[in-house]
Structures are given as C-alpha cells and as structure tokens.
Structure 1
Amino acid sequence: MGIRGEPVRLGVVGLGVMGTEMVAAARSLDEFEVVRVFDVNPEAAGRVDVPFAADVREIVEAGDVDAVYFATPPKFHAEPVIAAIRSGKAVFCEKPLAVSLEDGRRMVEAAGEQGVAAAVNFALSNRDAVLEVERALADGEVGEVRGVDVRLHFPRWPRDFQATATWVAGKEQGGFVREVLSHFVYLTDRLLGPLEAVDVGLDAPEEGEVAARGLLRAGDVPVHVSGFAGIAAPELYEWVLWGTRRSYLLRNWAQLFVSDGGEWTPVTLSGPRGSDAERLSLFAEAIRGKHPRALADFASGLRVQEVIEAFHGQRS
C-alpha cells in the first residue's frame, strides 16, 4: 500500500507533543513506515525509536522518503515544506499552514505546481460529531442556517500540555487564535463555505492574547467569535450551528448536542471518533490519488489562515 503498492515511507520533522504522537500513530498503521525523524533539539532523539536525521534537508531531499509530516512551529513551515514538495514528496502539515500570508500562498502554489498530495492536520476534519452535522445539513434537517457562534475560554494559556512549547504563548506565531480558533474556522469553512473577516479584533498585550472577538460571514450567514484567556472559568470549546429546524452544539471537541427548539439533547454517535491515525489513513488515500473530503487540503488551510491572520492585522 502507498506510492508503489508498499507502505508510505514517512519522515517526521518536529518531535514535540504532536510529532511524537503522530510517530506512534503512523507506526500503528500498515500504510506507513516511519523511516526518519528530526528535531532541532538533539535530546528529542530519545523520544522515539526511529533513526534521527542530521538536519531537515536529510529528510526533505532523501530518496527513501515518500512523504513528510511537519510538526514544527508555523513560522518555520514554509521553506522545508516547499523544499519537500519540490523534491516530489507528499506533505502533511500541522496547522496553521503558516503565519505569513505570503508564505502560505507560496506553499499552496508549490503544491499545485508539483501535483503532490498536500494536507493540513485539522483535528475536526474527520471527527464523528462533525460528520454527523455535515450529514444533517446535507439531508436538510437543519433547515435554514441562521448563524454560527464560536466560544473559547482558557483559564491558562498556553494549556498545561503545551507549557514547554514557549512559542505557543508568544504573539509572533502562537496564541489561542492561531492554535485553537483555526480549527473552528476550518470547521465552519468546511460546512458552510469560505469565510470573510468582516470585523475582527484581538486584545494582545505583551504577555499574549487575552481576548478575541469577531464577526465573520460565510456568504449571508453571520459567524460570531468570542474568546478569552486568563479568566476564572473552566476551559471551554463551543461551536454552535443555529438552524430554523434544528440546531447543533459541539462542545469540547467531541460532545454533540441537538435542539429542535427545546433543551439540548446529547447525540449518540457511532463509528470511529476521528483520530490522528485515521487522518493519516486519509492522507495515505490522498497519496494514492484520492480526494477524501474529511482531510483538509492546502487550499482550505490557506483560507483558514487568511481569516485567522485578519485578527492579527494581516489582510488579503
């Protein structure tokens, strides 16, 4: 299975939380063989039992690597991703696609020119709750979509599991708008179409982002964003789709509720939940020339980036 009917030979760049998890996910699948990894911290070599490359070039230019997963901070995506693409490798990149809009556009252009599979790892792309809402929209169960609300609360930023990733706290390439809101912008783009940033703002003193608010639009559908960090409240992730017949609430990534006008009722979901390993399997399908809808491509990643960076003052 893979490019030549055999496992896809995967290189991994970046061995933080996500990179280490993705190595484990790839090694659990018959579709992949993890052949080489790299991180700027040499001590990261001990986190996985895989040959450690001398530098990034050893992976992106290697003849025995078919595809590369990039889990570096977003500021450092563009050059190695483009180099990998130009050497004919498929690419699976962490979100956001980039920080600079120019970099994001160069990445999309390179992927288009080379015709390789190029995907972005949005955790909600294959989540069972998302697939259920997508089905309900397609079947007309929602009725007319009147709007979307996105609400994010963080008592601490960065979150505990990212405490050692210092870049996540900084305004240059981190913050909860890039790191978390991007997932929900992708979700809304996926279900309702491309978004326009109508009126967005970000409160970000020297210590980092503390509040984000915004009005986006998916065509005629208003999308309201409200996010706060450093507040005395439980951590919360909510995305609400308001429909005239039925509304849906996605809470904390996996809990789905529905309302027909009364109280919110939990939705019982069946089938796979939507894991890193399942997204890797979708990436393997993309490498084989398929176009799985439940996998974000570079074009959708760039649309998300354009909306996210509008909060930071970058405009298309």
Structure 2
Amino acid sequence: MTAAPVRLGIIGLGAMGTRLLAVASQHPDFDVRRVSDPNRSAEDFPGLSFSADSTDLVQADDLDAVYIATPPGLHERFSLAALATGKAVFCEKPLAVDLAEGRRMAEAAKRAGVATAVNFALSDQASVAEIERADVGDVLGVDIRLHFPRWPRPFQADARWLDEREQGGFVREVLSHFVYLTDRILGPLRVEVAGVDYAPGASEVAAHGLFRAGEVPVHVSGRAGMAGAERYEWILWGSRRSYLLRDWSELFVSDGGDWKPVELAGGSQAERLSLFAAAVRGADAGPGLADFAAALRVQEVIEAFHGAEVR
C-alpha cells in the first residue's frame, strides 16, 4: 500500500524557500499544505494556506513536518516550536549562529524522537558516494578553497542579512557545506586556527583556517570581493588517489597525473526530500541525510571562525 504523503508547511519564502516549494509541490511524497513569510502575501501563493505569522503554521495540527528557510537567527525559535508539537523538521543551514541555540536544537531533536534534517547540498550527491567507496590509500590532507567576486551572490541579492556580520557571510552560508562533507568523510574536526577578515560594517571578505580530523590536516581558504571567477573546490589528497570536487557537482580524480573527470549521475533536492520523507515515516534514511547532531558539529567548526569557544 502506498504511504500517505507527508503534510508539509514551509516557513520562509525567499530564494531557498520558493525553490523547495517548487520541488515539494511536484514531489509524490509531499502534500504542501501551508506556507508563511511576513514579507510575502497570499496572492503570491494561490491554492495554499498562507499566513504572515509563522507561529500559526508551526502550531497547525494538519502538518507532519515543517521546512524552515528563514534567516538562521530564527531557526531555533521555529524548530523548537515544531518539535514540541511532534512535527519533523527540515531546516536550512547553518543550524544556528549561536552555539547555545544549536545545542538546544540538537538536544530537543533527540528528546522529540522525530526526524530532523539540515539541507546540506552535498549530503546525497553521487560525487560524495563515489569518494566514500574509493580506495585513496592514506588520507594526507584536505584543502577547501572558496572564491566569490560578489557577496552575496546575485541570486541572493534581496537577502540583505547575508552581508551582515550577525547572521551572514560566506563562511556560514557556503563553507558549512564543505565542512559537513569533510566531517562525513573523515570524522569530527578539531580547531587549530580559524579566523576571518571583515569588510567595514559587513560580513567577511576573507577566511583562513587549519583543522584536523584525527591527524589529517584540513586547510580552509576563502575570499570575497576580488576580481576573478566564482569557484568552489574541495580536494581530498590521498597517497594512492586524490579527488577534486569543483563547483558542487564536478568530480575529478588523479592517480598521480592530471585531473580526470569522473562520470556521475544522481543527487538533487528532490532526492533529498525523498530521504526526508522516509525518515519522517520512521525509516533509516542512511548517510544521505544530515540530522541536527551532524549539523551541530558543523556549526561548532563554522563559529570558530567568528571567535566562538568550542568545547
């Protein structure tokens, strides 16, 4: 017998919220019932129950799960409220910007015993599965390099909070994905050096860090506002084989010579939603879905760049 669709509410209808709304509305595992954003109106979402007050959505009794795409400073508020009513939570990253908030979220998720997930774009990618099953020999190090000629990126230009120190910056918004990937492949990271340079009155223009997963060094370098191409690179250096993940979905391998492309297929927002639906129904979604506990480990690394003390 076919399982009933997961009844979903969406909080936050900016770039990410509207993108997921479009995917979830066509997804057989979901029935999008309610949407909410104080800066939008019901006319923008015909056929859906709309509220400008997201508290109304969280308290609704006709939902199984909520997706939270607000600025990160509101993640704790809506996550705790949803978990308290027994709803599963799918949240944008970062988990939070305050470590105490992130820890309360992870603890509440553990107590609630319902599915939680954070929307890390690399969590279910075929490239990650390829790297996980590869024989790379001894892992010698990881390099993460991020370049942004414009920050925020053009598609996020309306989200002004992304260029504010309190919640924004490319370290939280983008580096989080690659810290998650490194944690997943190599295990938890410990901080040796981490810091940022800020633009006057705005978010960071440079980031640098050295971390270790066990004894494996992980180097981070990021820059914004420079002349050059936008670029995302994550490199795993192995004694037998090395891998380069570039611009989210392009994977290359080297056995000692030039980088050679790896043919891949799979990984999308729709597939991530399928994993979340399975988790909501009580199935084991496997490593392709990052829960709040995994997201908290990422947040602890990310906030070290901004001077947070990590226990």
Partner residue of 1:285?
278
| Maintained 8 Å contact 1:23/1:48 | no
Q: Which residue of 2 aligns with 1:212?
A: 207
Task: Give runs of aligned pairs for residues 254-273 of structure 1, distance below 5 A.
Answer: 254-270=249-265, 272=266
Identify if the C-alpha distance between structure 1 residues 197 and 269 changes in structure 2 by more than 3 Å, giving closer, same or farther.
same
Which letter does structure 2 place at the counterpart of 1:287? V
Runs of 4+ with deviation above 4 angstroms: none
Q: CA deviation at 1:48?
A: 6.1
| 1:106-185 alignment runs, 5 A limit | 106-136=104-134, 141-185=135-179
RMSD: 1.3
- Take 2:50 and 2:182, find their aligned partners in 1: how far apart are those partners? 38
User: Once the 2 structures are TM-superposed, how far is the Cα of residue 192 of structure 1 from its aligned partner?
Assistant: 0.6
1:43 — aligned with what? 41
Q: TM-score, normalised by structure 1?
A: 0.95
Matches within 5 A, 1:246-261: 246-261=241-256
DSSP 3-state at the match of 1:198: strand
Deviations 1:205-263 (A, max 9, x none): 32321100000111111000000000111000000000000000000001000000000
Q: 1:15·1:44 contact (CA, 8 Å) conserved in 2?
A: no
Change (3 A) 1:48 1:111: farther
Q: 2: CA distance between counterparts of 1:72 and 1:314?
A: 22
What is residue 228 of structure 1 aligned with on the other side?
A: 223
On the 8 A contact 2:122/2:248 being kept in 1, the answer is: yes
Alpha-carbon separation, structure 1, partners of 2:251 and 2:42: 37
Question: Aligned-pair distance for 1:42?
Answer: 3.0
Unmatched segments (≥5 aa) in structure 1: none
Within 2, Cα distance between the matches of 1:155 and 1:130? 27
Tell me by how many angstroms 1:49 deviates.
4.3
Residue 245 of structure 1 aligns to a residue in which SS? coil
Deviations along 1:116-137, whole A, 9 cap, x unmatched? Answer: 101100000011111111121x
The 2-side partners of 1:131 and 1:280 are apart by 18
Answer whether contact 2:67 2:89 (CA < 8 A) is retained: yes
- The aligned counterpart of 1:93 is 91
CA pair 210-174 structure 1, distance change in 2 beyond 3 A: same
Residues 131 and 19 (structure 1), Cα distance of their counterparts in 2 relative to 1, 3 Å cut: same
- Post-superposition Cα deviations, 1:269-314, rounded to whole Å, max 9, x if no partner, equal 13x2x11111111000111222321000000000000000000011
User: Are the counterparts in 1 of residues 39 and 52 from structure 2 also a CA contact under 8 Å?
Assistant: no
Q: 1:180 to 1:44 in 2, by over 3 A?
A: farther
Q: Which amino acid in 2 is paired with 1:81?
A: S
**Could you say what secondary structure the match of 1:291 adopts?**
coil
Alignment identity in percent? 63
Any stretches of 5+ residues in structure 2 without a counterpart?
A: none
Aligned equivalent of 1:196, options 190, 200, 203 = 190
2: distance between equivalents of 1:60 and 1:44? Answer: 17
Aligned to 2:298: 304
For the 8 Å contact 1:20–1:48, the answer to whether it is kept is no
Aligned-pair CA distance for 1:47: 5.0
Worse-matched range after superposition: 301-310 or 200-209: 200-209
Report the CA distance between 1:45 and its aligned residue. 5.0
State how far apart, in whole Å, the 2-side matches of 1:163 and 1:124 are.
23
Q: For 1:44-83, what aligned pairs fall within 5 Å after superposition?
A: 46=44, 49-83=47-81
Q: Distance in 2 between matches of 1:127 and 1:210?
A: 28
Distance in 2, Cα, partners of 1:12 & 1:197 = 35
Paired residue for 1:313?
307
Q: Which position in structure 1 is the counterpart of 2:25? A: 27
Partners of 2:235 and 2:149 lie apart in 1 by: 21
- 1:51-77 residue CA offsets vs partner (Å, 9 max, x unmatched): 202411221111101100000000111
